[in-house]
Amino acid sequence: MAAPVGPMKFWKPGTEGPGVSITEERQSAAESTGVSVIYNPYASLSIEQQRQKLPVFKLRNHILYLVENYQTLVIVGETGCGKTTQIPQYLAEAGWTAEGRVVGVTQPRRVAAVSVAGRVAEERGAVLGHEVGYCIRFDDCTDPQATRIKFLTDGMLVREMMADPLLTRYSVLMLDEAHERTLYTDIAIGLLKKIQKKRGDLRVIVASATLDAEKFRDFFNQNETNDPSKDTSMILTVEGRTFPVDIFYIQSPVPDYVKSTVETVMKIHQTESDGDILAFLTGQEEVEAIVSMLIEQARVLSRSGMKKHLRVLPMYAGLPSSEQMKVFERVSHSVRKVIVATNIAETSITINGIAFVIDCGFVKLRAYNPKTAVECLVVVPVSKASANQRVGRAGRNRSGKCYRLYTEEDFEKLPQSTVPEMQRSNLAPVILQLKALGIDNVLRFPFLSPPPAQSMVQALELLYALGGLDKHCRLTEPLGMRIAEFPLNPMFAKMLLESGNFGCSQEILSIAAMMQIQNIFMFPPNQKAQAIRKHRKFAVEEGDHLTMLNVYEAFIKHSKSSQWCQEHFLNYKGLVRATTVREQLKKLLVKFKVPKKSSEGDPDPVLRCIVSGFFANAAKCHSTGAYRTIRDDQELHIHPTSVLYAEKPPRWVVYNEVIQTSRYYMRDVTAIESTWLLELAPHFYQEGTVRTRHRHQMVSLLYSQLLYLKLFLFPSSIFLLFDGNRNKLGCNSFKGI
């Protein structure tokens, strides 16, 4: 096993060393997405024979026994063990779907729910949507009478609880990929724990990676005695079926992982036999830089007579989908594919045929500063769990190698797992959702990982300001309940609900829908200037909201033509999605009897309506040329993607969100009149100085949860990025009060 030679030196940790052995690495590699069913080495066997070959089959009766006797089962299912497709079927065969009951399986991502449902339906010889179905936003493929095994996104499960708080139709719920700790998985986990107390018959199966198994078991265990025979939860491990992956570390730290990635790719290409390469980087810019460097080097190589060619492909979420599809294309034997990707390739997509993985050791994550209520994107070291997940992207169809561009010593210093999303998110939608589910005292909600107290305060303050909560922190009727019903952030929901009063619900619907889609404007690297010129046609001086409205209306006027989109460098799929989102939102407005009206081209009511939802996000331009928020005097700038960027800056603006990268940037910005703030949010802004008196009011709310939090808790000022950061989490969390 020759390591690459030259400036890049790797070594494989020996079994005697401090490092983990290869087998251990594989065991701790997190589970794959449900898309893993693509690869099937037993395709020539009958479906029944294939099912029996899966590692999980040997444990079929054991699993059924445990589900029968324990309320919660934590399954540590390694990659390729077959748990996602098989366990629901075992349960159905054992009678858990008798008398109209349903076995539900949740997935964090839509595609996974659909593809696994398809595979299971096929195995059962069923038509998808009958006995086996799936339910994701915009696509309910189930039959209320016939469906027995139902795959759904965890977000959908939380939504279902609004109609049926005890999930009475379900006999078993399996939460797949729970170790990913996505926001909705965590909410579902807390809610299921509560439901189990009222429904002793409900069974929960948590599918997780090794690392978190005990945490899940202890969380669900209702046994308060020391007698383990009374435990209500249990762990079961199912071995996987993957190929060995050798891990190599770099000998000494590299100053520039971009350069090192390029060098490592070239070394692999020149010294290793067949097999595609997957490199993990942190962002679009890095990916594109490496792609062009590699193409350059590959040219030099082929000129010098190298027979084997390199096909270099970028992969990130912002890439047009036609470009994304290229990474799945098969290439001839004389070509080696190199895919340079962001963390999209870690869980969201699975590429077959990867033999070599290069891991730069960093990841770009969204984090939330609970003190300033600003989200930021930060590049941080990956967690061990992520690094192992990256390793696992090789070894799916054959043995492989993983090159880590950091030392083994540094690997050991990495945090065990990434901080759960719950602890690095804006909690306003979460709190509202919980309140709508009847959980009034959100402080006592069983969070698997409690979020920072300050995030709670921010969320409660915002919801109060929007009128969704009253001064006792209770959900208001009907406003609060209605805001919660929208699948949107509360500010958008409030804006929509107000749109009837401004006589512009048509326009606001289009704006709200468009704002949910990222990357509407596309910039193909080679035609960037041309694209910007085309985009300028839609721009208006009022700002991004009305610009997006223009785009949407033009799209409709041109009969939703994909060709028209291409000509104008617009994201066709995104625009189609905007129309779907708009339909869904429109139904809710009809339900709440918001009159259908148009301002007939008058921008004024539309802008005022935007302010009625986003008044809290107002900023003023100062003589320095920089903006500052009204709430906190925080310095802000207009994001370079805004149409107001490089224009004469308007004195007052509102924005949808702030994102901190190199500076604090406002995204989706619209010019407003300061008088509108006083007019439309008199409870939030005072006349004269336009300073907030909101906080003042909040502190006067006796007995409110908010006051409770404010008086008793230490405010946090540090971003919580890693679960391992015990001290910081300890002082910021409200657990135990």
Partner DNA sequence: CGTTTTTTG
Applying CB under 7 A, which residues contact DNA? Answer: 108-111, 136-137, 153, 155-156, 159, 182-184, 282-285, 316-318, 342-344, 348, 364-366, 377, 429, 433, 486-489, 516, 518-519, 521, 523, 625, 639-641, 645-646, 659, 661-663, 665
State in angstroms the smallest separation of the CB of 501 from DNA.
23
Residue among 210 and 342 whose Cβ is closer to DNA:
342
* DSSP state letter for 737: -
Map residue 375 onto helix, strand or coil: strand
Pairing assessment for the beta strands 335-341 and 309-315 based on DSSP bridges: parallel
Pick 274 or 647: Cβ nearer DNA: 647
If the CB atoms of residues 66 and 278 are measured against DNA, the closer one turns out to be 278
- Nearest approach, Cβ of residue 104 and DNA (Å): 13
Two tokens, residue 263: 């060098």
Rounded Cα distance, 280 and 357, in Å = 8
H-type alpha helices, 558-669: 562-567, 572-591, 603-614
Longest CA span, the chain? 79
Helix (H, G, I), strand (E, B) or coil at 135: strand
**Closer residue to DNA in complex, CB, 94/377:** 377
Smallest separation, CB 409 to DNA (Å):
27
Q: Which among 104, 112, 88 is positioned nearest to 31, based on CA atoms? A: 112
Q: Name residue 621's beta-bridge partners.
A: 627
Give whichever of 183 and 457 is closer to DNA, judged by the CB atom: 183
Nearest CB to DNA, comparing residues 263 and 668 = 668
Omega within 30 of 0 (cis) for the link into 478: yes
Query: Among candidates 261, 262, 314, 311, which has minimal Cα distance to 287?
Result: 314
The residue (of 56 and 105) whose beta carbon lies closer to DNA is 105
Rounded to the nearest 5 percent, the helix, strand and coil shares of the chain are 45, 20, 40
The least CB distance from residue 183 to DNA, in Å, is: 7
Helices (H), 233-283: 257-271
Q: In the complex, what is the shortest distance from the CB of residue 587 to DNA, in angstroms, rounded to a whole number? A: 13
Which burial class, exposed, middle or buried, applies to 584 when counting CB atoms under 10 A from its CB (0-12, 13-18, 19+)?
A: middle
Tokens in use for 121?
């339906």
In the complex, minimum distance from the CB of residue 315 to DNA, in angstroms, rounded to a whole number: 8
Q: How far is the CB of 713 from DNA (least distance, A)?
A: 26
Q: Which of 495, 478, 481 is nearest to 434 (CA)?
A: 481
C-alpha torsion sign, points 129, 134, 140, 143: positive
Instruction: Provide, rounded to whole angstroms, the least separation between the CB of residue 684 and DNA.
Output: 22
SS3 318: coil
Round to whole Å and give the CA distance between 85 and 553. Answer: 43
CB-nearer residue toward DNA: 237 or 641? 641
CB of 493 to DNA, least distance (A): 8
Complex with DNA: residue 78 or 498, whichever CB lies closer: 498
Q: Which residues contact 256 (CB under 8 A, 6 or more apart)?
A: none
Residue placing its CB nearer to DNA in the complex, 398 or 577: 577
Rg (CA), the chain: 27
Q: How many residues appear in the chain?
A: 737
Minimum Å gap between C-beta 492 and DNA is 8
Please report how close the Cβ of residue 519 comes to DNA at its closest, in angstroms: 5
CB of 363: closest distance to DNA in angstroms? 7
The least distance separating DNA from the CB of residue 243, rounded to whole angstroms, comes to 26
What's phi and psi for 124, nearest 5 deg? -95, 5
CA dihedral 554, 556, 562, 564 (to 10 degrees): -30
641 or 725, CB closer to DNA?
Answer: 641
Contact 707, 402 (CB under 8 A): no
Count other Cβ atoms within 10 Å, centred on residue 219.
19
Measured CA to CA, the distance from residue 124 to residue 373 in angstroms comes to 49
Q: How far is the CB of 136 from DNA (least distance, A)?
A: 4
Task: Please give the Cα distance from 564 to 226 (Å, whole number).
Answer: 68
Single out the residue of 368, 323, 316, 365 nearest to residue 344, CA to CA: 316
By beta-carbon proximity to DNA, the closer residue of 370 and 429 is: 429
Closer of 318 and 353 to DNA (Cβ): 318
We find the least distance from the C-beta atom of residue 111 to DNA, in angstroms, to be 6
Q: How far apart are CA 494 and CA 487, in angstroms?
A: 12
Concatenating the DSSP letter of every residue in 22-71 gives: HHHHHHHSPP--GGGGG--TTTTS-HHHHHHHSGGGGGHHHHHHHHHH-S
CA distances (Å), origin 305, targets 167, 298, 302, 308, 332 = 65, 11, 5, 9, 18
Q: Which is nearer to DNA, 72 or 386 (CB)?
A: 386
Nearer to DNA, 72 or 642 (CB): 642
- Please state, as a whole number, how many other Cβ atoms lie within 10 Å of the Cβ of residue 728: 17
Give min distance, CB of 488 to DNA, in A. 5
Rounded to the nearest whole angstrom, what is the least distance from the CB of residue 27 to DNA in the complex?
Answer: 26
Report the nearest approach of DNA to the CB of residue 586 (Å): 15
Structure tokens at 563: 């060709």
Q: What is the DSSP string of 622-645?
A: -TTS-EEETTT--EEEE-TTSTTT
* Pairwise CA distance, residues 561 & 555, whole Å: 7
Is the C-alpha dihedral spanning 58, 61, 65, 70 positive or negative?
positive
Q: Which of 186, 180, 154, 176 is nearest to 167 (CA)?
A: 154
Going by C-alpha positions, the residue among 637, 650, 187 that lies closest to residue 374 is: 637
